[in-house]
Amino acid sequence: MPQGREATEQAAVVVRESVRVELPPAAAFRLFTEGINQWWPLQEGHSHGGDRAREIVLEPMQGGRFYERFVDGDELHVGTVRVCAPPDRILFTWKSPHWQAETEIEVRFLAQDVGTTVEVEHRGFERLGPDGEAIARRWAGGWPRVVQAFATRAASP
């Protein structure tokens, strides 16, 4: 083990999901970012606010906010955009109110002959301490639905 590292250090835990959509990369990027409220399954429980959830916002600019707005007007800051490189990539932080640290999500938009492959990588769960791996497993169970909701909206006229 390298010097200076504790024996309790956890290996990196990464959750990955991808989908191919029939949109060019720029349109897929805009839908994922500016249009996130059109497809994110807030009402299915993919929200920190539960029944209070009204909308979700991802501001596609470096330093932009990722947040939920509730029916009473309150907002919950979930993360901050660290990298915004349209139409190829966006990277933002994600921190549940119950976590001791941030994780990060990187989304890549890869042009195909027809359409775009959208790759989502949620990483940094090891920063959450001893429960990081269990939390990652729970989130791994949710990402397929979120990505499918994106794909369904991308397929709608």
Q: What is the dihedral of CA 152, 68, 98, 138, to 10 degrees?
A: 0
Handedness of CA 89, 40, 99, 95 (dihedral sign): positive
CA–CA–CA angle 38, 42, 46 (5° rounding): 130
pTM of the predicted structure, to 2 decimals:
0.90
Domain ranges of the chain: 14-155
Instruction: Report, at the CATH architecture level, how domain 14-155 is classified.
Output: 2-Layer Sandwich (3.30)
Burial 67-82 (b: 16+ CB within 10 A, else e): bbbbeeeeebebbbbb
Q: Is the Cβ–Cβ distance between 66 and 81 less than 8 Å?
A: yes
pLDDT of 73-128, one tens digit each? 999 999 999 999 999 999 999 999 999 999 999 999 999 999 999 999 999 999 99
Q: Is the Cβ–Cβ distance between 74 and 60 less than 8 Å?
A: no
Amino acid identity of residue 150, one-letter, is F
Q: Which of these, 50, 55, 58, 84, lies nearest to 68 by C-alpha position?
A: 55
Percent of the chain with pLDDT over 90: 83
pLDDT of 59-81, one tens digit each? 999 999 999 999 999 999 999 99
